[in-house]
């Protein structure tokens, strides 16, 4: 008997190491694999495809003796069976640092295809796929690649933005911890396509497991991606470094202050050289696209949002985890049908989509399809597609205050609307919570939000008004 | 323990080496001292002000060492939705462990979560959180 247990950070934080050690002590072979992404079931134990979870140390002997009740076949679990897993096709199935497992599951086929078809055809394939930046902005990846490819320079760079700081997002972490070779392959394809021989992965320091996995995987794969070279760089606890120009400054060893655009990083990026800055999920989608073709990827999705999106269902939700599906699925399906409602069993008050800079959305709008344009039209963000579920005990005035407070803590200080506006925002919401001049102060917040939205250099100051104003708009009773 | 000179030498070939150097100094000494900043600035041909500006910008670098053990408790939205704020009074009612706020460990469906060193903990409730603090 061999049991398979994930070694990703969620599994480990929920006690997977102790469970694995107990199996080993009982003489059972243990394989540490990536996570299926059903986080409410971690630590999940997989024996010949049949799942048990969440497993505690004292259930191990019952599982070995066949006395424990199972979840049935993991692949048939509705949470898994109804997904369209392209980027996460290996999740739960392969050992993250096994080159054999990676080869056996279409690994390196995308890079081989790119090298065979040539640089321009590779870019054209990404263009055809309709792949858009998964970090939040949704900019077409093919156009960015084409711009860097056409730039004339002695040195170009591929920078992978793995500074996944938004609350309710963990898809980047799962890629790096569960399928690091896929990300490395995606970066190598990008490097080949645009003529860059050096890549950096900028990983936040809050992700020690991801850092360790990526560093180990890069060593193992170095000969396969040469002459392209990848190096891990570790962030230092600054949320704003997820903004691409701030990230570039940080990589250069400077304060993570935002740069004004233009010049675009595609033309003047890292050390002033043409640079692709793409999110983990963007680069991780590339090997599949090259292997199966741009048209195959574009066949998924809705409108101008092509392909699949690894959605992260989190917060106060019964069935939280990673759910990859074609664009177009509604919030209601995601939160109620798939997520199963709140973990607390209380009614859902709202969800926040897109991290700390995303809007709060009430159940009345849960018919919204996940689609960049549909969300924008509803004054909301898809962002990195993290969904935080809140039950009816949430105080939305406190959440609005927190949005401003978070912006004040994390502001890089470069532009005034963000630096000063966020602090004045906290003070003004405090006045509202204390019941002082409520109507005047709410008008002041609306005015301040306009200033931050249109006057800030980057999304931190520019999008903080989304959670604040959506909380006030949809839950006015919490402010008066 | 490596010296500042060892750390500088280890990163000699890197492009933009300041953050990797500061991470190693922070790890080896528990903080980045005035003297360390002076030595780093001189080696990288930067002003002390530039190095100080970087050290003070990032939450991970301390200018003074923290004598107490440190626990980082996630206070971001997903952990708030799962009740982390109810754990805060427990942290406030003790002083042996320094409890710092952190914004997201990527464990957002199994919070409240915390990190001690490189160890991560999830599904914290009052009892688990108290036990964790007492064990530090």
Residues A382 and A470 in one domain: no
CATH number for the domain including A459? 1.20.1440.230
Closest partner residue to A10 (CB to CB) among B17, B104, B122 is: B122
Q: What is the structure's pLDDT at A391?
A: 98
Which residue does chain B place closest to A206, by CA atoms?
A: B105
Cβ–Cβ below 8 Å for B110 and A410: no
Cβ–Cβ below 8 Å for A271 and B54: no
Does A135 fall in a domain? yes
Q: Tell me the HSE value of A187 on the side-chain side, using a 13 A CA sphere.
A: 37
Cβ–Cβ below 8 Å for B120 and A209: yes
Separation between Cα atoms, residue A319 and residue A413, nearest integer Å: 39
Which residue does chain A place closest to B115, by CA atoms?
A: A206
Report the candidate in A219, A375, A371, A360 with the shortest Cα–Cα distance to residue A308: A371
Low-confidence ranges of chain B (pLDDT < 50): none
Residues A268 and A327 in one domain: no
CATH number for the domain including A109? 3.40.50.11540
Residue window 90-129, chain B: list those with CB within 8 Å of chain A.
102-111, 113, 115, 118, 120-123
> Does A366 reach chain B within 8 Å, measured CB to CB?
no
Domains in chain B, start-ordered, CATH in brackets? 4-57 (no CATH), 70-135 (3.40.30.10)
> Does A337 reach chain B within 8 Å, measured CB to CB?
no
Residue A251 to residues A236, A243, A271, A461, B14: CA-CA distances in angstroms? 11, 12, 9, 22, 11
> Does B60 reach chain A within 8 Å, measured CB to CB?
yes
Does A92 fall in a domain? no
What does A47-80 look like in DSSP terms, one character per residue? ETTEEE-S--GGGHHHHHTT-SPP-EEGGGSHHH
Separation between Cα atoms, residue A364 and residue A386, nearest integer Å: 19
> Does A164 reach chain B within 8 Å, measured CB to CB?
yes
Separation between Cα atoms, residue B109 and residue A42, nearest integer Å: 11
Select from A391, A426, A446 the last residue of a domain.
A391
Q: What is the structure's pLDDT at A136?
A: 82
Residue of B21, B61, B80, B109 for testing the chain A interface, max A β-carbons within 10 Å? B109
Select from A368, A391, A414 the last residue of a domain.
A391
**pLDDT values of chain A reduced to their tens digit, one per residue, 480 residues:** 899 999 999 999 999 999 999 999 999 999 999 999 999 999 999 999 999 999 999 999 999 999 999 999 999 999 999 999 999 999 999 999 999 999 999 999 999 999 999 999 999 999 999 999 998 888 999 999 999 999 999 999 999 999 999 999 999 999 999 999 999 999 999 999 999 999 999 999 999 999 999 999 999 999 999 999 999 999 999 999 999 999 999 999 999 999 998 999 999 999 999 999 999 999 999 999 999 999 999 999 888 889 999 999 999 999 999 999 999 999 999 999 999 999 999 999 999 999 999 999 999 999 999 998 999 999 888 999 999 999 999 999 999 999 999 999 999 999 999 999 999 999 999 999 999 999 999 999 999 999 999 999 999 999 999 999 999 999 999 998
Closest partner residue to A13 (CB to CB) among B78, B102, B122 is: B122
* Cβ atoms A13, A19 nearer than 8 A: no
Residues A190 and A43 in one domain: no
> Does B23 reach chain A within 8 Å, measured CB to CB?
yes
Separation between Cα atoms, residue A184 and residue A303, nearest integer Å: 30
In Å, how far is B80's CA from the nearest CA of chain A? 8
Q: What is the structure's pLDDT at B109?
A: 97
Does A428 fall in a domain? yes
Residues A270 and A124 in one domain: yes
Residues A409 and A326 in one domain: no
**Angle between helix A180-194 and helix A141-150 axes, rounded to 10 deg:** 40
Residue window 231-270, chain A: list those with CB within 8 Å of chain B.
233-239, 250-257
Question: Which chain A residues are closer than 8 Å to B50 by Cβ?
Answer: 254
Cβ–Cβ below 8 Å for A10 and B79: no
Counted domains in chain A: 4
Residues A261 and A143 in one domain: yes
Report the candidate in B57, B116, B15, B61 with the shortest Cα–Cα distance to residue A208: B116
In Å, how far is B6's CA from the nearest CA of chain A? 19
User: Rounded to the nearest 5°, which phi and psi values hold at A94?
Assistant: -120, 155
Q: For chains A and B, what is the number of CB pairs under 8 angstroms?
A: 152
Residue of A315, A343, A396 for testing the chain B interface, max B β-carbons within 10 Å? A315
Closest partner residue to A251 (CB to CB) among B16, B57, B79 is: B16
Residues A62 and A117 in one domain: no
Cβ–Cβ below 8 Å for A254 and B77: no
Separation between Cα atoms, residue B125 and residue B119, nearest integer Å: 17
What does A226-290 look like in DSSP terms, one character per residue? TT-EEEEEE--S-GGGGSHHHHHHHHTTS--PPPPSSSPTTTS-GGGS-EEEEEHHHHHHHHHHH
Helical spans, DSSP H, in A293-395 = 294-298, 331-332, 372-377
Range of the domain at A112: 99-298
Does A87 fall in a domain? no
Q: What is the structure's pLDDT at A168?
A: 96
Cβ–Cβ below 8 Å for A167 and B105: no
CATH number for the domain including A326? 3.10.20.600
Residues A454 and A380 in one domain: no
Residues A232 and A337 in one domain: no
Does A94 fall in a domain? no
Question: Which chain B residues are closer than 8 Å to A39 by Cβ?
Answer: 109-110
Q: What is the structure's pLDDT at A263?
A: 95
* Cβ atoms A310, A332 nearer than 8 A: no
Cβ–Cβ below 8 Å for A316 and B81: yes
Residues A269 and A289 in one domain: yes
Does A89 fall in a domain? no
Q: What is the structure's pLDDT at B1?
A: 84
> Does B12 reach chain A within 8 Å, measured CB to CB?
no
Give the SS3 label for residue A11: helix
Q: What is the structure's pLDDT at A304?
A: 86
Residues A168 and A283 in one domain: yes
Residue of A36, A43, A164, A168 for testing the chain B interface, max B β-carbons within 10 Å? A168
Separation between Cα atoms, residue A141 and residue A134, nearest integer Å: 9
Cβ–Cβ below 8 Å for A166 and B53: no
In Å, how far is B21's CA from the nearest CA of chain A? 9
Cβ–Cβ below 8 Å for A320 and B110: yes
Does A400 fall in a domain? yes
Q: What is the structure's pLDDT at A159?
A: 98
| Confidence (pTM) | 0.97
Cβ–Cβ below 8 Å for A236 and B23: yes
CATH number for the domain including A59? 3.40.30.10
Which sign, positive or negative, has the C-alpha torsion A214, A220, A224, A228? Answer: positive
Residues A131 and A222 in one domain: yes
User: Rounded to the nearest 5°, which phi and psi values hold at A140?
Assistant: -60, 125
Separation between Cα atoms, residue B136 and residue A7, nearest integer Å: 24
Select from A334, A362, A391 the last residue of a domain.
A391
Structural element, H or E, at residue A324 = strand A321-326
Does A282 fall in a domain? yes
Question: Which chain B residues are closer than 8 Å to A312 by Cβ?
Answer: 108-109
């Amino acid at each position: 008997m061999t049991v398979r247990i994930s070694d990703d950070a969620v599994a480990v934080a929920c006690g997977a190491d102790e469970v694995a050690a107990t199996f080993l002590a009982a003489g059972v072979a243990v394989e540490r694999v990536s996570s299926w992404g059903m986080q409410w079931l971690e630590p999940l134990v997989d024996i010949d495809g049949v799942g048990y979870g969440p497993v505690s140390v004292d259930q191990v002997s019952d599982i070995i003796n066949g006395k424990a009740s199972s979840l049935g076949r993991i692949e048939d679990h509705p949470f898994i069976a109804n997904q369209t897993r392209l980027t996460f096709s290996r999740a739960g199935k392969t050992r993250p640092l096994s080159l054999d497992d990676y080869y056996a599951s279409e690994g390196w086929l995308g890079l081989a295809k790119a090298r065979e078809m040539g640089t321009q055809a590779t870019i054209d394939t990404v263009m055809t796929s309709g792949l858009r930046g998964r970090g939040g902005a949704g900019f077409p990846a093919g156009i960015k690649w084409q711009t860097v490819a056409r730039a004339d320079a002695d040195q170009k760079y591929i920078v992978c933005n793995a500074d996944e700081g938004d609350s309710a997002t963990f898809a980047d972490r799962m890629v790096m911890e569960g399928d690091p070779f896929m990300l490395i392959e995606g970066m190598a394809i990008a490097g080949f396509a645009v003529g860059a021989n050096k890549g950096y992965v900028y990983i936040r320091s809050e992700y020690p497991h991801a850092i360790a996995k990526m560093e180990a995987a890069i060593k193992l794969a170095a000969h396969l991606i040469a002459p392209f070279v990848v190096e891990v760089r570790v962030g230092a606890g600054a949320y704003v470094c997820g903004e691409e120009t701030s990230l570039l400054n940080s990589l250069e060893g400077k304060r993570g202050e935002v740069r004004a655009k233009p010049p675009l990083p595609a033309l003047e990026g890292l050390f002033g050289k043409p640079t692709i800055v793409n999110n983990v999920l963007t680069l991780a989608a590339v090997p599949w696209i090259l292997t199966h073709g741009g048209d195959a990827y574009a066949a998924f999705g809705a409108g101008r949002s092509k392909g699949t999106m690894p959605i992260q269902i989190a917060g106060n939700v019964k069935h939280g985890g990673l759910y990859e599906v074609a664009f177009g699925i509604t919030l209601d399906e995601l939160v109620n049908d798939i997520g199963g409602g709140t973990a607390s069993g209380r009614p859902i008050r709202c969800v926040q989509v897109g991290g700390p800079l995303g809007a709060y959305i009430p159940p009345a709008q849960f018919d919204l399809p996940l689609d960049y344009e549909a969300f924008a039209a509803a004054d909301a963000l898809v962002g990195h597609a993290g969904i935080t579920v809140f039950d009816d005990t949430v105080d939305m005035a406190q959440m609005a205050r927190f949005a401003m407070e978070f912006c004040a803590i994390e502001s890089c200080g470069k532009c005034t609307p963000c630096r000063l506006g966020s602090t004045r925002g906290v003070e003004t919401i405090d006045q509202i919570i204390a019941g002082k001049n409520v109507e005047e102060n709410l008008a002041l917040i609306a005015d301040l939000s306009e200033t931050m939205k249109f006057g800030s250099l980057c999304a931190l100051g520019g999008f903080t008004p989304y959670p604040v104003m959506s909380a006030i708009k949809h839950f006015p009773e919490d402010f008066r | 323990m490596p010296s500042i000179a060892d750390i500088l030498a280890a990163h000699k070939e890197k492009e933009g080496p300041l953050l990797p150097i500061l991470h190693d100094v922070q790890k080896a000494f528990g903080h980045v001292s005035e003297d360390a900043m002076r030595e780093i600035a001189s080696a990288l041909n930067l002003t002390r002000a530039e190095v100080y500006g970087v050290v003070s910008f990032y939450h991970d670098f301390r200018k003074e060492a923290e004598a107490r053990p440190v626990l980082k408790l996630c206070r971001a939205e997903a952990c708030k939705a799962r009740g982390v704020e109810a754990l805060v009074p427990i942290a406030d009612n003790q002083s042996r462990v320094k409890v710092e706020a952190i914004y997201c460990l990527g464990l957002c469906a199994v919070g409240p979560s915390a990190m001690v060193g490189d160890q991560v903990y999830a599904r914290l409730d009052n009892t688990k959180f108290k036990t964790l603090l007492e064990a530090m």
